[in-house]
Structure 1
């Protein structure tokens, strides 16, 4: 087994295609395919399943990938320490629900990274996609929330996918509204106060189950309801339609629109926001650094970092 072969596997997973990976690696497609077959034969496993949609990791391949990434990380550190060479193009990915504080921490990570080359990915996506991304190693960690309503379902799925949820902080529900909304100025609002305003939420695709909703109280009926797929659109509708959404109440001063206001919502609920990680994979130095920025940002907004259970 050669280090180069491990690089090949990671590139194929990244692009989901031998052809595309070969172009980025500046080798021919047959050469790349042969290298993968040789590695599979040597290891005695099938790493990829060849489908019409591209290369898909098998169960054995998923486990193999976790070891490959850890090996390459250690090789990088050794070469940098003893040979004084630049590390190879560093990859790092995070998948998250639509939280500005998670984006802010990612921005800080990129600004602090002093290497000449890197390839970072931040996916604001649906809840089930976050879980799939982390379980298939498309992302090193994911950010989502648990509460009394969704916890049993989400934890069951995490266990099946060999993932662990680690709490970051506990948030009390707020509503986000435009600063021109008539409710602004109140110390808090009740659900009855919101009945006549359009309710905005993030759509969850085919798995649009209440348990996968990014908003608590997802089973409540709303006279006016609008689903959107991205945070910018949601904020535009908050302003343009005088709508509201239910969230953690954490607004990033640097990244959020100054026209958005968070108002406490009077409900007996809490949100435990945290991050998920594969049980098969240790956090990379970049993962640890991102987590540090994430926690600093949370503390900066007056929250206490939760102790891991």
Structure 2
């Protein structure tokens, strides 16, 4: 009986569907069914009852789910207990997609690093196209990345059954402007309203986004592509007449939002939804610190 399998069972109970839970966990439906059947055999009970309308918890299953939730909670407490008393230094590598690096780093510095001084956290900015290589080379056991909602992420989650792809957050692209801009008080705009502005972009788009960005650039007579969001921010502050398109998470819980230097505006006619997810190897034994780090990452995305 493995802890991650117990977590999978709770997800099945939550969605009342193996197929839905499998999609949320980014593992195969067959693989998840095998895990459910194996656990039922091991416990010698029927947890779920299959019906034409989905699956329902049996009476035994409902009791089992409550106990499983308690086990998961006690497991977290046990990890924290020994993590707090462990003085051995450890290096943890975490990969994060470009638009989320600043916000997540800021959060972890406040809510995780200070509590785990023995664990040295190295956060790497990982481009969307390099995520698969980053995992395969075992540069890090945990990577937070993103992909366009209508364009499934590369095959790693489906070809390698050891990898789990856990959905964290649904994001979208928004318009960023300086707080001094005449647009700063707006809640939403259309592209036609800002087509004469100088558009700033960065290299932090996922590969699948290229086509959409290309369509966007064809509509703007003036645009500049910059290396990263920090440079784009400085340009926006110096030139309030410029605008930038980026994922909304770029402004979450960072000095940008705290200092109210930038405003974030919805673009009503530019639909580019992103799914943010965490990839980790369920076959490897993650350290206590890595497990606790994953919990903090989940907490960060739940908070926004």
Q: Under a length normalisation based on structure 1, what TM-score does the superposition of the two structures give?
A: 0.58
Q: Select the residue among 292, 295, 309 that pairs with 2:295.
A: 292
How far apart are the structure 2 equivalents of 1:265 and 1:168? Answer: 23
Structure 2 unaligned residues grouped into runs of 5+: 1-77
Structure 1 unaligned residues grouped into runs of 5+: 1-76, 302-309
Preserved contact between residue 107 and residue 253 of structure 2 (Cα < 8 Å): no
How far apart are the structure 1 equivalents of 2:299 and 2:249? Answer: 17
Q: Under a length normalisation based on structure 2, what TM-score does the superposition of the two structures give?
A: 0.59
Preserved contact between residue 95 and residue 125 of structure 1 (Cα < 8 Å): yes
1:1-309 equivalence runs, <5 A: 86-87=87-88, 89-97=89-97, 98-99=99-100, 100-107=102-109, 108-115=111-118, 118-151=119-152, 154-160=153-159, 163-203=163-203, 210-211=207-208, 217-222=212-217, 223-241=221-239, 242-249=242-249, 251-256=251-256, 258-267=260-269, 268-301=271-304
* Distance change >3 Å, CA 238–CA 161, structure 1 → 2: farther
* Distance change >3 Å, CA 224–CA 285, structure 1 → 2: farther
Q: Look up the SS of the partner of 1:227 in the other structure.
A: strand
Write out per-residue CA displacement over residues 136-157 of structure 1, whole angstroms, 9 at most, x where no aligned residue.
1112211222223432xx2325
Query: Offset at 1:250?
Result: 5.7
How far apart are the structure 1 equivalents of 2:283 and 2:198? Answer: 43
Q: Look up the SS of the partner of 1:169 in the other structure.
A: strand
Preserved contact between residue 188 and residue 264 of structure 1 (Cα < 8 Å): yes
Query: Offset at 1:266?
Result: 0.9
Preserved contact between residue 167 and residue 277 of structure 2 (Cα < 8 Å): yes
Q: Look up the SS of the partner of 2:275 in the other structure.
A: strand
Higher helix share: 2
Q: Which residue of 2 aligns with 1:69?
A: none
How far apart are the structure 1 equivalents of 2:160 and 2:236? Answer: 36
Q: Which residue of 1 aligns with 2:69?
A: none
193-202 vs 89-98, greater mean Cα deviation: 193-202
RMSD of aligned Cα (Å):
3.1
Q: Look up the SS of the partner of 2:155 in the other structure.
A: helix
